[in-house]
Amino acid sequence: MISLIMATLGRKNEVDRCLQSLCMQTYTSFELIIVDQNPEQFLSDIIKKYKDKIHINHILTAEKGLSKARNIGLKYVHGDIIGFPDDDCVYRDDTLKNVVSFMRGDADAVTGTVISNLHQLPGNMVRNVNIYNVWRRGISFTIFFKRHVFEKVGYFDEMLGVGSGTVYGSGEETDYLIRILKAGFCLQNTDSILVWHPAVDYSNCKKAYNYSKGRMYVLNKHRYHFLFIQANIFWPLFKLIKNFYNIHKVRYCWYQFLGRLF
Rounded mean pLDDT, 72-81: 98
Q: What is the phi-psi region of residue 133: left when phi exceeds 0, alpha when psi lies from -120 to 50, beta otherwise?
A: alpha
Per-residue pLDDT averaged across 58-72, rounded? 97
Confidence (pLDDT) at 178: 98
Q: What pLDDT is attached to residue 61?
A: 97
Q: Quick one: average pLDDT of 63-90? A: 97
pTM of the model: 0.96
**Do the Cβ atoms of 188 and 129 come closer than 8 Å?**
yes
Rounded to the nearest angstrom, the gap between the alpha carbon of residue 98 and the centroid of all alpha carbons in its chain is 18
What is the model's pLDDT at position 55? 97
In the chain, the percentage of residues whose pLDDT exceeds 90 is: 100
Q: How far apart are CA 146 and CA 2, in angstroms?
A: 9
Q: For residues 151-155, give the mean pLDDT.
A: 98
166-174: average pLDDT: 97
**Which alpha helices (DSSP H) does 133-204 contain, by range?**
134-137, 147-153, 172-182
For the chain, what is the mean pLDDT?
A: 97
Grade residue 98 by pLDDT with cuts at 50, 70 and 90.
very high
Backbone angles phi, psi at 191, to 5 degrees: -100, 15
**Do the Cβ atoms of 193 and 122 come closer than 8 Å?**
yes
171-206 tens-digit pLDDT: 999 999 999 999 999 999 999 999 999 999 999 999
**Residue 99 DSSP class:** H
DSSP helix, strand, coil percent of the chain (3-state; round to 5): 40, 20, 40
Alpha helices by DSSP H, 123-261: 134-137, 147-153, 172-182, 205-221, 226-242, 247-261
pLDDT at 262 over 90: no
